Structure 1
Amino acid sequence: MLDRTTFLRPIAHRGLHDAARGIIENTAPAFEAAIAKGYGIECDLQPAADGTPLVFHDLELGRLTTGSGLITGLQPGCAAKLPFRGTDLTGILSFADLLALIGGRVPLLAEIKSEWNEPNPAFMVKISNLATAYAGPLALMSFDPAVMATIRRLAPGVPRGIVTGSYRYPDGTPWYPDQLSDARRDALANLKESGPADPYFYAYDVRALPSPVAQRIRDDLRLPLFTWTVRTEAQRETARLHADAQIFEGYEA
C-alpha cells in the first residue's frame, strides 16, 4: 500500500520550477529546489527511442528544448545533450538519473505518460526494473489504467495509482478528443477500467472537486486521494477540504 505518513504532504508538480528564474520543470534544479523545502516531487516519464524512460512531460520537444520532433524519436545520448530554451541548462534527465539525484530524500510520484495505445514493452520493463530496485519512497501512476495494469504485473511491490478526473475541461471540452470516445471517457471518469490495475491511490483533477467519484475513492474505497494541479488560493482550499494531499505549482505550499 501507499505509506500515508510519507506521501501525504505537498507534492511539487514537475519539481519546484520557476521559468522566470531559469528553473525549468522536470529538471535537476527544480527537483533540488523541492527537496530543499522538504516537498514531495511529481515528475513525468516519456520513452526515448529505445524505451529508456526520460523525465519529460511533452510528447513534442519544442516547447522546452531547442530540439524538434517527438521525444519518442530521441536516443538517450542525444537527450542527455539537448539544451533547454532560455537557460544554460543542458540535458533531459533519465529516470535513472532522477532516482540517483533524489536518493530517497523525499517521496516521488512518477507519472507514466500514455498515448492510449499498447504500452511500450521496453519502456514498461525499464521503469519497472528501476522502480523495483529503488530503495526510496516511490509510487508510479498514469491516466491509462492499461499502463498501470502492466506495472502491477511487472513491479507488484511498487505502489501504483490512477490519475483521473471528469475527463472534461471546465468549459466542457473533452480530454483526449482524438484518442478516446465519449463512452470511454465516461468509463474512465467513473473508474470502470481501474480494476485490473488494482490502484493503491488516485490523483484527481482539482477543477472537478468536489466530486461524487472522488468522495467514493476516499470514503468507500478508503484510498488516498491526491489532487492536481493546485495553483490558486481557492484551489488550495478545495484541496484541503476534498483531498488528502495537493500536487501544486506556482507558489510554495
Structure 2
Amino acid sequence: MNICMAHRGWSGKAPENTMTAIRLALAEPAIRGIEIDVQLSRDGVPVLIHDFTLERTTTGRGLVMDHTLEELRELDAGSWFNERFAGERIPTLEEVLQAVKGRCTLNIELKATSDMYPGIAEKVLELLERHEMKQEVCITSFDHDLIRQVRELDATVETGLIVMGRPVLMLEQLEAAGANILSMGYPYLTRELACEALEKGYKVIAWTLDEPSHIRTVMSWHPDVQICTNHPDRMLEFV
C-alpha cells in the first residue's frame, strides 16, 4: 500500500514545519511518513524551516543562518498562514524527534550544501544517535555530495537524493552517492523509472502531489511508491 507522507507536516491545514503541522499528521494513523526541512541557526542548532530567508513564513527578516536560535524562537511562524496560528514558533529538530519517536517515519531534508552549513550532517546524526532514532528516519537532500558525506559518516541511516528534473543515469547517481531512496518531483517521475528503481531495491518518493487525479495516477503505478503531499486527506480517500 502506498505510504502517505505529509509534506512539511500537514501543511495544508497548519503552517508548514511547525509543531502544530507535525502533531496534526501524527494524529492521523494512516499517515506513515512526515517530511521536514532542516537548516542550522547561527549558533549551530538544527531547526525546521524551508526557505533560506525568513520573510515568507515568519515575522523575521534576512537569512536563517544569520540568526541565533534564541532570535529565531522569538519570531512568529504561524500568523502568515492564519491568525489562528499566531504565536507558533520555529521548532528545533530535537523537539520534532521527541514528538515523532516510535510513531512515524521522518524524512529529514537537509536544506543546505555542506559548504553553506558546515557540520550539518554531523549535528543531525548526533541527534539521531542521542534519541536512538537512526532506524526511524531517512536523510535526503538536493546536494548529492552532502548525502554521500552522510553515508560516509554513518552507513546505517537511510539516505536519498532529491531531484527536480529528469537527469540521465539517475540510478547510477544513486549508487555513486550511496543512497537508497529516489525522491523526485512528480512531473518528472515516470512509471518506468519508478518501477525500475523499485525493482533494483531503491525506495521511491514522489513529491509534491496535491491534485487528487495526480495522486491517483501515481498510486496506480506501483503500491510501493510513496506519496508526499500537503493534503494527506486527499490521498487518504483512495487508501
Unaligned stretches of 5+ residues in structure 1: 168-185
Q: Which residue of 1 aligns with 2:165?
A: 166
Match of 1:250 among 220, 227, 231: 231
The Cα of 1:251 is off from its aligned counterpart by: 4.5
Per-residue CA distance 1:19-55 (angstroms, 9 max, x = gap):
5xxx211101110000000212110111211332111
The Cα of 1:10 is off from its aligned counterpart by: 0.5
SS of the equivalent of 1:121 reads coil
1:191 to 1:113, Cα distance in 2 relative to 1, 3 A: farther
CA contact (8 A) 2:110 2:139 kept: yes
Per-residue CA distance 1:161-184 (angstroms, 9 max, x = gap):
1112426xxxxxxxxxxxxxxxxx
Q: Which residue of 1 aligns with 2:194?
A: 214
Q: Which residue of 2 aligns with 1:228?
A: 207
The Cα of 1:150 is off from its aligned counterpart by: 1.1
- Are positions 1:51 and 2:30 aligned together? no
Unaligned stretches of 5+ residues in structure 2: none
Return the structure number with greater relative CO, CA threshold 8 A, min gap 6. Answer: 2
Structure-to-structure mapping, 1:102-141, within 5 angstroms:
102-114=100-112, 116=113, 118=115, 120-136=117-133, 137-141=136-140
Structure-to-structure mapping, 1:168-187, within 5 angstroms:
186=167
The Cα of 1:141 is off from its aligned counterpart by: 0.7
1:224 to 1:195, Cα distance in 2 relative to 1, 3 A: closer
- Are positions 1:83 and 2:76 aligned together? yes
- Are positions 1:14 and 2:8 aligned together? yes
The Cα of 1:159 is off from its aligned counterpart by: 1.1
After TM superposition, the score normalised by the length of structure 2 is 0.84
Q: Give the Cα separation in 1 of the matches to 2:103 and 2:114.
A: 34
Per-residue CA distance 1:211-237 (angstroms, 9 max, x = gap):
654343123x22111111110112112
The Cα of 1:154 is off from its aligned counterpart by: 1.9
Per-residue CA distance 1:175-210 (angstroms, 9 max, x = gap):
xxxxxxxxxxx46x7355433421121112111232
Q: Give the Cα separation in 2 of the matches to 1:234 and 1:72.
A: 39
Q: Give the Cα separation in 2 of the matches to 1:18 and 1:215.
A: 29
After TM superposition, the score normalised by the length of structure 1 is 0.80
Number of residue pairs matched?
Answer: 223
Q: Give the Cα separation in 2 of the matches to 1:10 and 1:149.
A: 26
The Cα of 1:57 is off from its aligned counterpart by: 0.6
The Cα of 1:121 is off from its aligned counterpart by: 2.5
* Amino acid corresponding to residue 121 of structure 1 in structure 2: P
Between 66-75 and 238-247, report the one with greater CA deviation.
238-247
Q: Give the Cα separation in 1 of the matches to 2:221 and 2:127.
A: 33
Structure-to-structure mapping, 1:59-74, within 5 angstroms:
59-74=52-67
